[in-house]
A and B are shown apart, each in its own frame.
Chain A
Amino acid sequence: AQKVTQAQTEISVVEKEDVTLDCVYETRDTTYYLFWYKQPPSGELVFLIRRNSFDEQNEISGRYSWNFQKSTSSFNFTITASQVVDSAVYFCALSEWNGGYNKLIFGAGTRLAVHP
């Protein structure tokens, strides 16, 4: 069965600290996609990144970086020099290739609080 585990329920940091959000997934498929979404208090889920299972290259986008390791089934997300605006709930999600249907399986989320 497919499953996404985000073991950190809440993280609290002070501005400018680096923070890593953990994500571990389970799937039997060899082809799948991994996502990170941000959910600010407004409720809307904001897309951050998508990786497919064949691309293990780490990615950096500004202060954000992602570390994908198939060997440990992990897709961790690091925010460098955190800012108050980063405060939100972050979700990791898995989508298996099942004929083109992009059904996402979400983890329970990690609530990040960045304090000034």
Chain B
Amino acid sequence: DAGVTQSPTHLIKTRGQQVTLRCSPKSGHDTVSWYQQALGQGPQFIFQYYEEEERQRGNFPDRFSGHQFPNYSSELNVNALLLGDSALYLCASSSGQGNEKLFFGSGTQLSVL
């Protein structure tokens, strides 16, 4: 049973570029959340997708957008990259509503030069 998978593992971009990160949830899970983890800090909630809709969002600018597909996989898009967007981006999946435990992927390490 595959867990949460994320791609790519590492990514290097330059300021102003756009990036797309991908996530496949754990089998049986229908909810995907994205978190940003800056170096030496705890993860920060970006947004959550359920039934192909964004249902909750953290304090992130509109440059951060996402999408969920019918197979529950998800993408995180970041436009007009800034140096400060350099971080580990973690995807987490869970089943439906409620405060069930989240299963996390190993993340995508994004470096913006």
Contact = CB atoms under 8 A, between A and B. Distances in A.
B43 A101 contact: no
Contact of B99 (A46, A97, A106): A97
Contacts, number: 69
Contact of A43 (B40, B44, B106): B106
A33 B41 contact: no
A104 B103 contact: no
A16 interface: no
A32 to B, nearest CB: 8
A104 B107 CA distance: 17
Contacts of B35: 104
B48 A103 contact: yes
A100 B100 CA distance: 9
Nearest to A96: B99
Contacts of B92: 45
A44 to B, nearest CB: 4
Nearest to B103: A47
Contact of A104 (B41, B45, B106): B45
B42 to A, nearest CB: 3
Interface of B: 31, 33, 35, 40-45, 48, 55-56, 58, 88, 90, 92, 94, 96-107, 109
Interface of A: 4, 33, 35, 37, 42-47, 50, 52, 91, 93, 95, 97, 99-109
